[in-house]
Structure 1
Amino acid sequence: MSTRPEILFPLFAGIETLEGVGPKTAQSLAALDITRPRDLLFTLPWSGVDRRRRATVQGAEIPGVVTVEVVVGRHDAPARPSAPYRVVVEDAATSFHLIYFRARADHLRRLLPTGARRLVSGKVELFDGIAQMVHPDHVVPVEEAGEIPDFEPVYPLTAGVTQRVMAKAAQSALLRAPRLGEWIDPAQKAQAGWPDWHDALRVAHSPGSARDLAPASPARERLAYDELMAHQMTLALARSHLRRAKGRATVGTGELQARVVAALPFALTNAQTRAIADIAADMGAPMRMNRLLQGDVGAGKTLVAFKALLIAVEAGGQGVLMAPTEILARQHFQGLTPLAEAAGVRLDILTGRDKGAARGAKLRALAAGETDILVGTHAVFQKDVEFADLRLAIVDEQHRFGVRQRLELGQKGAQADVLVMTATPIPRSLALAQYGDMDVSVLDEKPPGRLPIKTALVNTGRMDEVVDHLRHAIAEGRQAYWVCPLVEESEAVDLSSAEERYRRLRAALGEGRVGLVHGQMPPEDKDAAMTRFQRGETSVLVATTVIEVGVDVPNASIMVIERAESFGLAQLHQLRGRVGRGTAASTCLLMYQAPLSEGGRKRLETMRDTEDGFRIAEVDLEMRGAGDLIGTAQSGLPRFRVADLEAQSALMAVAQSDARKLLADDPDLASPRGRAARVLLWLMERDQAIRLISVG
């Protein structure tokens, strides 16, 4: 089935085919990303209004919405156009006023003839002791009372679209929703108490009470699960596709690894040992490895990565470690050199800087198999880079790297295993959404001997004290980072604030003691400034956020972050992780400008109270929501219409195991449930997944 099934055609028609949607409304709906009936089905009401009838406005919660039957009394037309038009009405116990502004008298007399009975519904407020309903939402003859639902859904709106238009269009879309085969495992569905797909849509769009709007209500939960299931099936198909791609068993002897471990001044943590065992097992299997190594700042990922590379070399092959930037590649190279010497393997580096004869010599050594392990930037993707026998490719800092690059890299070595490392702790629900196609190892312990970092909040008003503190620390031979605020308006403003701080600190601490790094500098100047700081030639490095990822200067033990409230939690955590890498006790000063917003205070206090990156990521998810957390645009994180990753994070794990099980039991999706699951993939527009089934 490589074309959309016919049963879904009505849902993919133009939006104008729905009742009450003309070209103008269609244009407005496009702003909500609604262009077809299916989009409307998955745009659920976000709240609702209780419109159950009462006998009287007396005793109702005011201000609030009231629905009541009234007898219409006299009309008071205003003397001047800007004054309100009043209609006096009487319910079973009291009288009150309906108020209209800029209304046409003839229209109101037709709508509300004196002496007639009407059902009115709208927000009632007290004004000078008299209850008033300003511009009622509904006015209908008593025999048409059925037009006002007991509980009226409230939809997200955009300019040019009213609640009434949305509700009508949604009901019209519901009439087109076909009855589909069931893709959910029957036992799972019964246990969760979920309705059929069609019924779930109906209940979600016609909630009976506020309870039906909650993410945990059976109908909503079912629809969220469908969305997550389609996403996890896509990832599971990509995963089984990779697994079917032949890998080769790479089994190490342990000999080179043992030399490295013997040379280390400390023992591995349990988490490191576990991760290495996972990786060795994957590499030893005949399928391609596709694993994510997730570790908090300073959890010792590099050592795990190096031991994995040694497995490749022990088996007679080669390994490559790729970093997103030149600085990081050089740093990995410097960090791994002593380990490579201990193991007795040949390590080389290849970046965009290598040109001419020197580059040629490196490429020849690589193709001849003389180089065992290569460290590099994206330069290793270039056509002329060939390995004699590439067994393992390791990618550092995943979020700069999409699924597509993971596949491309795997093609360099016909059957190379792939390991991705990230230093960004991600809450489990998001890790499943983003890396559901991968197996995950987590490093959640710090190596022994790491001292805790003391974090303090300091008001910007105490800048002089901070500079004094720095002066003393520098005199004792310590080094510090000074991170300048993020100014949203423009990089130019960022730049001037960094340059200004650089000038002031030079004046206070001495000309040659302060360096500067910012995003606008040519890469070689950036590297030079970093190198001077690494060598200890400068004591303070003033920087915009270019230093957040991976830079390692063990002697730097002070981190000052100016206007810390303008940074996100993940960024603050990454920045703080730049210190605390040596033997000295480290400090992180978060400077803020009072008054702090509620969110700003919560972020800074979280930083002060914990160093656990996973805990920090959970708080970040609660505060910001999933899309912002990874930056939806570049994250490959899907946009869900119904599912709420914060409130329904547990569903993601269920969907992942269900998707993997379904594909294990029915790889071609040929059973009745498998065929229903194909329809789900079409419904959720997972075209790439459908292609993987058809080629599979």
Structure 2
Amino acid sequence: MDLKDKITTLKGIGPKKGKVLSEHGIKTIEDLIEWFPRRYEDRRRETPICDVKQGKDYLVCGKVISRRQSGNPYNKRAPLSLLINDDSGMIEIVFFNGKYLSGAFNVNSKYSFYGKVSENMGRMQMIHPEFHQYGEKGDIRGIIPVYPTIEGISQNEMRKIQAQVSPAIESVREWLPENIVTEYKLADPVFSLKNIHFPKESRYVLMSRFRLVFDELLTLETGLIYVKNDNAAKKNGIAINTGRSEEFINNIGFKLTEGQTRVWSEVAKDLESTGVMNRLIQGDVGSGKTAIAEIAMYVTVCNGYQAVMMAPTEILAKQHYVTLTEAFREYNLKIGLLCGSMKPADKKEVLDRLGTGEIDILVGTHAIIQPGVKFNRLGLVITDEQHRFGVEQRHRLSEKGDDPNIMVMTATPIPRTLAVILYGELDISVIDTMPAGRKPIRTIAAHQEDRGLVYDKVRKELVKGKQAYVVAPLIEESEKIDAKSASELFAELQKLFKDYKVGLIHGSLPQEQKDAVMDAFVKGEIDVLVSTVVIEIGINVQNATVMVIENCERFGLAQLHQLRGRVGRGNDQSFCYLIINNETDIAAERVKIMCESTDGFQIAEEDLRLRGPGEIFGTRQHGLPEMRISDIVRHADVLEKAKNAANSLLASDPDLRSTDNAELRNRIEKMFGGDIRLEI
């Protein structure tokens, strides 16, 4: 058995199960070995039946003293009931749909059972526990791994599959230098992989987990530091004289906030230098990041260079195009727009003008990074809502010029703990003040039974001539998920607000239709916009003063904050109503935080605490590779050790060319996918 073999070569994994596993990134034996348990159940000690308590999980062992099949014994749904005795007491074991188990138990034979105890009519019960004949091979006792849930594959099946591939672990070789293994007291990789799945002792779990977490964080840090070093090696950047920034700032129509002034001075210092600017601008919703971008673009064009701004959606790109066209109208700057949905003839015209230098500033989506897009003299690259782009996409955009200055912006507040890791190759600036006159958005929690009152409040805003957003977590109704859909809400609100114009927008609509709906809402032709999270970022309609988020428990804190930021863009008091359908403890805590705070950075810290980085930044879409076993917040101490080891490795082998580092190089390329290319 080879680590690169497909999982379908294993017993019990046919095409159907293979497809399910593949959807979770498990395609090879190696992938399967790296599907680590999320926790363990300690089943080493039997509990006397007389000591079990309702609501807890136990391992009990005893003899079957009676076996009864209720109802029609030929009906496969007929329940099977066993009475188990261990000399201290009795417990009932129940299996619904029990016909398939009717021959699995013999009266007077001893079995082990593990499951949650409940009480029924004064009798202790276990319903559908795991079981095994006592003392037989494969008994359920021991330290038992519990894996992340995969629909259609039970825990027992996953354990059997993992047991099959255990021999393949023997082929894993030590891949870290001896000095690092010794310095950080790392366990052997074979020992670690075997004991992370089927530990013999609880201390072996800790030893194994430390090694595997260290491996993963070392791979992450080495990859990020490699990118940073690679950027730093590009010493000859484009120096921009920022002297004419004052004329633009004085004519901008408002006074820059203290935060904006500080951040602009940091950006200006970068632009003036001969090195390449690589700066992240973080700022909460409405803090004025776009103004900083406009100043930087203006001075860049004044120096004879072009600027480009890339946005993640066409809606946001078109909004930036309109905003920049207006901002630079009196300066006679030529602004171009490039989006995937444009007609070929229109695209060609833009590309021709861009190539000759007629266009000073280009705004667009990822269509900008396509091979045929050529600039005449690119000096500044800006990506907006940059967490939506991977490392490689940012690089491809910067490669459109000769080491242009790079500015990346995000309105998604990111705790500094994560920002340093996510954007390790960038200098970080934070706009931490808001424009004067902005009123904090009032956030109000409501339950399903209060929906009528919420929509009465919406009507009051509509009567004033204001507009409203209503956000749903789904596009269409779902049998599996108990939540409002945008289509369902659209139909409901059309009847409720029949005197007003109600619009619908979601990600599955054709681009032309989305643009038409958004344009109508911006112009005030739509009063109530029903939407999914497609309106989460960037949309700026100052007349919208009320936001209703249905099934708010289905959104994370950071996402709720982004959605709320679509209102409160003008000087009128704005409102955000969070309607709860399924009130879990975490949902209640999220809503409480949202109602008490409008500080995006505080909310991001709380989101990190409640959900962890895996859920927030767990996909490559957000710039950070998926972590299999580590948590960059919970394992901060290991992260620091891994970072030191990564710096040590790269200091002696900057490009990882050594054969000793071949496995590390492979792991980095596997972790980051196309986001990092190591030049060997």
| TM-score above 0.5, yes or no | yes
Q: Partner letter of residue 601 of structure 2?
A: F
SS at match of 1:349: strand
1:651-690 pair list within 5 angstroms: 651=638, 655=642, 658-659=645-646, 662-669=649-656, 674=661, 677-678=664-665, 680-681=667-668
CA distance in 2, matches of 1:517, 1:309: 35
Q: Is 2:529 the counterpart of 1:542?
A: yes
Q: In structure 2, what is the equivalent of residue 137 of structure 1?
A: 132
1:294 Cα deviation after fit: 2.7
Q: In structure 2, what is the equivalent of residue 388 of structure 1?
A: 376
1:419-438 pair list within 5 angstroms: 419-428=407-416, 431=419, 434-438=422-426
1:674 Cα deviation after fit: 4.2
Please tell me whether the aligned partners of residues 480 and 560 of structure 1 are also in contact (alpha carbons under 8 angstroms).
Answer: no
The alpha-carbon distance between structure 1 residues 131 and 387, as it changes in their structure 2 partners (threshold 3 A), is closer
Q: In structure 2, what is the equivalent of residue 460 of structure 1?
A: 451
1:48 to 40, 55, 61: 40
CA distance in 2, matches of 1:273, 1:618: 25
Please tell me whether the aligned partners of residues 482 and 559 of structure 1 are also in contact (alpha carbons under 8 angstroms).
Answer: yes
Please tell me whether the aligned partners of residues 3 and 168 of structure 2 are also in contact (alpha carbons under 8 angstroms).
Answer: yes
CA distance in 2, matches of 1:349, 1:687: 32
Q: In structure 2, what is the equivalent of residue 201 of structure 1?
A: 193
Structure possessing the higher radius of gyration over alpha carbons: 1
1:441-590 pair list within 5 angstroms: 441-458=429-446, 459-463=450-454, 465-470=456-461, 473-474=464-465, 479-489=466-476, 494-495=486-487, 497-498=489-490, 501-502=493-494, 504-507=496-499, 514=501, 516=503, 518-519=505-506, 534=522, 538=525, 540-545=527-532, 546-554=534-542, 556=543, 558-561=545-548, 563=550, 565=552, 568=555, 569-582=557-570, 584-590=571-577
TM-score (norm 1): 0.75
1:116-195 pair list within 5 angstroms: 137-140=132-135, 151-155=143-147, 158-159=153-154, 161-162=156-157, 165-166=160-161, 168-169=163-164, 171-182=166-177, 185=180, 189=184, 194-195=186-187
Percent sequence identity is 31
1:440 Cα deviation after fit: 3.8
1:627-646 pair list within 5 angstroms: 628-629=615-616, 632=619, 634-635=621-622, 637-645=624-632
1:560 Cα deviation after fit: 3.1
The alpha-carbon distance between structure 1 residues 56 and 414, as it changes in their structure 2 partners (threshold 3 A), is closer
Please tell me whether the aligned partners of residues 204 and 220 of structure 1 are also in contact (alpha carbons under 8 angstroms).
Answer: yes
CA distance in 1, matches of 2:661, 2:576: 56
1:65 Cα deviation after fit: 3.6
SS at match of 1:418: strand
The alpha-carbon distance between structure 1 residues 169 and 586, as it changes in their structure 2 partners (threshold 3 A), is same
CA distance in 2, matches of 1:429, 1:485: 31
1:130 Cα deviation after fit: 9.1
SS at match of 1:228: helix
The alpha-carbon distance between structure 1 residues 442 and 222, as it changes in their structure 2 partners (threshold 3 A), is farther
The alpha-carbon distance between structure 1 residues 656 and 436, as it changes in their structure 2 partners (threshold 3 A), is farther
Task: Give 5+ residue unaligned stretches, structure 2.
Answer: 74-78, 479-483
State the superposition RMSD in angstroms: 4.9
Q: Is 2:11 the counterpart of 1:22?
A: yes
The alpha-carbon distance between structure 1 residues 668 and 236, as it changes in their structure 2 partners (threshold 3 A), is same
Q: Partner letter of residue 233 of structure 1?
A: T
1:406-425 pair list within 5 angstroms: 406-425=394-413
The alpha-carbon distance between structure 1 residues 370 and 188, as it changes in their structure 2 partners (threshold 3 A), is farther
Task: Give 5+ residue unaligned stretches, structure 1.
Answer: 1-8, 113-117
TM-score (norm 2): 0.76
Q: In structure 1, what is the equivalent of residue 600 of structure 2?
A: 613
Aligned length: 647
Q: In structure 1, what is the equivalent of residue 310 of structure 2?
A: 322
CA distance in 1, matches of 2:224, 2:236: 22
Please tell me whether the aligned partners of residues 237 and 693 of structure 1 are also in contact (alpha carbons under 8 angstroms).
Answer: no
Q: In structure 2, what is the equivalent of residue 225 of structure 1?
A: 214
Q: In structure 1, what is the equivalent of residue 323 of structure 2?
A: 335
CA distance in 2, matches of 1:360, 1:155: 52
Q: In structure 2, what is the equivalent of residue 6 of structure 1?
A: none
Please tell me whether the aligned partners of residues 320 and 374 of structure 1 are also in contact (alpha carbons under 8 angstroms).
Answer: yes
Please tell me whether the aligned partners of residues 5 and 29 of structure 2 are also in contact (alpha carbons under 8 angstroms).
Answer: yes
SS at match of 2:464: helix
SS at match of 2:239: coil
Q: In structure 2, what is the equivalent of residue 4 of structure 1?
A: none
CA distance in 1, matches of 2:113, 2:554: 47
Q: In structure 1, what is the equivalent of residue 288 of structure 2?
A: 300
1:452 Cα deviation after fit: 1.6
Please tell me whether the aligned partners of residues 469 and 529 of structure 2 are also in contact (alpha carbons under 8 angstroms).
Answer: yes
1:454 Cα deviation after fit: 1.9
1:217-296 pair list within 5 angstroms: 217-244=206-233, 246=234, 248-264=236-252, 267-283=255-271, 288-296=276-284
SS at match of 2:282: strand
Q: CA deviation digits over 1:439-468, x for unaligned, max 9?
A: 443333323443322222352121563255
The alpha-carbon distance between structure 1 residues 135 and 168, as it changes in their structure 2 partners (threshold 3 A), is closer
The alpha-carbon distance between structure 1 residues 563 and 263, as it changes in their structure 2 partners (threshold 3 A), is same
CA distance in 2, matches of 1:603, 1:35: 36
CA distance in 1, matches of 2:677, 2:606: 38
